[in-house]
Amino acid sequence: MRLFIFISVLVFLLWGCSPRQDGQQRFDNSRIVSFAPATTETLFAIGLGKNVVGVSKFCTYPPEVVSLPKVGGLIDPDIEGVVALKPTCVVLQRSGADIGHRLEALDLPVLYVDGNTLDEVLDSFEIIGNALGRNAEGKALKDNTLKALAPSKPTVSKQRILMVIWRDVGSGIQSLTVASNDGYFSRLVESLGCELVPEKAIAAFPTLNAESIIQLNPDRIIELRHDLDESQIEAAIADWRRTLPDLPAVRDNHISIITDQCAVVPGPRIPQFVELLKKTLLETQGL
């Protein structure tokens, strides 16, 4: 038993972390690499921005990350680049477990977090904070985000929202990927007293065509497209007017394109996204 305990402690030391009473590992936070925009934003939000030495190629916020070394993405990771940065911790969403295994094989310490649902995102704030010596900051980030989701005035009237995550702009309304019962966008919308359609979709992100949208008849159409410029936004709205001119939401101009990146990064800027959603929905009420 003593030998087992000794080996366990030694393994933790070799991985650059130490055991904790709560069962979570603690990592050396002196040189951190982050493989996702959400985890990068979390690290900066809890006061570890100066310790981040590398980020994914998709990380653009806060502005300080623009000049940091890029280590690729989940599909095309720069493993050699990560090794060259000599990280004491690599923060990785569990969807990139394959990368994690490759890094672990090189004796690099990897901290895994989940971030698919709202609960997982909120928990990741504390997990990252606790693992990297920012317990209070991680908890405060989670608590403040929860407060932002609490009901507030003016109140949004219940609306059925079609939230478009992706489609080809300029080709009409043919094949749209929308959010439904995904546990993240759906929860944020529900916090405002509204709901996403289709309500009973089997998939978290179903694909819809024009006919199915007519049948759903949403009160509001919201597209999340941080990659569009002004001319493309006009083209996106024109697609709706050209393809579905008689749909009430289109006819009444209840179409919004949210281009702020906070809408598609499930991290510390959730309160900012919720405020954007609320503002958009209140506009439908004429408030």
Read off the CATH number of the domain in which 182 is found.
3.40.50.1980
Q: What CA–CA distance (Å, rounded) separates 235 from 170?
A: 6
State residue 11's pLDDT score. 34
Q: Residue 151's pLDDT band (boundaries 50, 70, 90)?
A: confident
Q: Is 22 helix (H, G, I), strand (E, B) or coil?
A: coil
- Is 251 inside any structural domain? yes
The Cα 273–Cα 220 span in angstroms is 17
| Total tally of structural domains belonging to the chain | 2
Q: Name the residue type at position 7.
A: I
Q: Are 71 and 37 in contact (CB under 8 A)?
A: no
Residues 214 and 97 in one domain: no
CA 170 to chain centre: 26
Residue 80: CB atoms within 10 Å: 9
One domain, residues 278 and 202: yes
Query: Residue 267, exposed/middle/buried by CB under 10 A (0-12, 13-18, 19+)?
Result: buried
**Does 14 lie in the same domain as 81?**
yes
What local confidence, expressed as pLDDT, does residue 38 receive?
Answer: 97
Q: Are residues 122 and 168 in the same domain?
A: no
Show which of 91, 118, 148 is a domain's final residue: 148
Strands 26-27 vs 17-18: parallel, antiparallel or unpaired: antiparallel
Q: Is residue 13 part of a domain?
A: yes
Within a 10 A sphere around the Cβ of 83, how many other Cβ atoms?
A: 15
In this structure, the answer to whether residues 32 and 94 fall within a common structural domain is yes
Point out the domain boundary residue: 148, 174, 208: 148
What is residue 287's predicted lDDT score, i.e. its pLDDT?
A: 53
- When pLDDT is cut at 50, 70 and 90, the band that residue 286 belongs to is low
* Of residues 278, 274, 271, the one with CA closest to residue 125: 271
Using the 8-state DSSP alphabet, how is residue 70 labeled? B
The answer to whether residue 154 is domain-embedded is: no
pLDDT for position 95: 86
Residue whose pair of structure tokens reads 């393994």 in the numeric block: 11
In this prediction, residue 14 carries a pLDDT of 35
Minimum mean pLDDT range among 29-33, 171-175, 188-192: 171-175
Q: What is the mean pLDDT of residues 10-19?
A: 36
Asked whether residue 141 falls in the same domain as residue 192, the answer is no
134 lies in the same domain as 257 = no
Q: Is residue 115 part of a domain?
A: yes
Q: Looking at residues 94-100, what average pLDDT do you find? A: 89
85 shares its domain with 124: yes
C-beta of residue 248 within 8 angstroms of C-beta of residue 216: no
Question: Are both 166 and 49 inside the same structural domain?
Answer: no
Same domain, 14 and 143: yes
Q: Is the pLDDT of residue 4 over 50?
A: no
Confidence of residue 155 (pLDDT cuts 50, 70, 90): confident
Percentage of residues in the chain having pLDDT higher than 90: 83
The domain in which residue 37 lies consists of 2-148
Residue 97 in any domain: the answer is yes
For residue range 32-87, list pLDDT tens digits in order.
999 999 999 999 999 999 999 999 999 999 999 999 999 999 999 999 999 999 99
Which pLDDT tens digit goes with each residue over 113-149? 999 999 999 999 999 999 999 999 999 999 999 999 9
3-class DSSP state for residue 163? strand
Mean pLDDT of 227-241: 95
pLDDT confidence tier of residue 106, bands split at 50, 70 and 90: very high
Residue 276, CA atoms < 13 Å, CB-side half-sphere: 17
Measured distance CA(196)–CA(188) in Å, rounded? 10
Task: Specify if 65 maps to a domain.
Answer: yes
Q: Which of 148, 183, 210 is the last residue of a domain?
A: 148
Q: How far apart are CA 273 and CA 265, in angstroms?
A: 9
Could you tell me if residue 153 is inside a domain? no
How many whole angstroms separate alpha carbon 12 and alpha carbon 52?
22
CA atoms of 117 and 46, how far apart (whole Å): 21
Is residue 107 within 8 Å of residue 101, measured between CB atoms? no
CA angle 148/25/104 to nearest 5° reads 110
Its pTM stands at 0.89
Question: Taking 90 as the threshold, does the pLDDT of residue 3 lie above it?
Answer: no
Q: Within this chain, do residues 31 and 116 fall inside the same structural domain, yes or no?
A: yes
pLDDT at 253 over 90: yes
- Identify whether residues 170 and 259 lie together within a single domain: yes
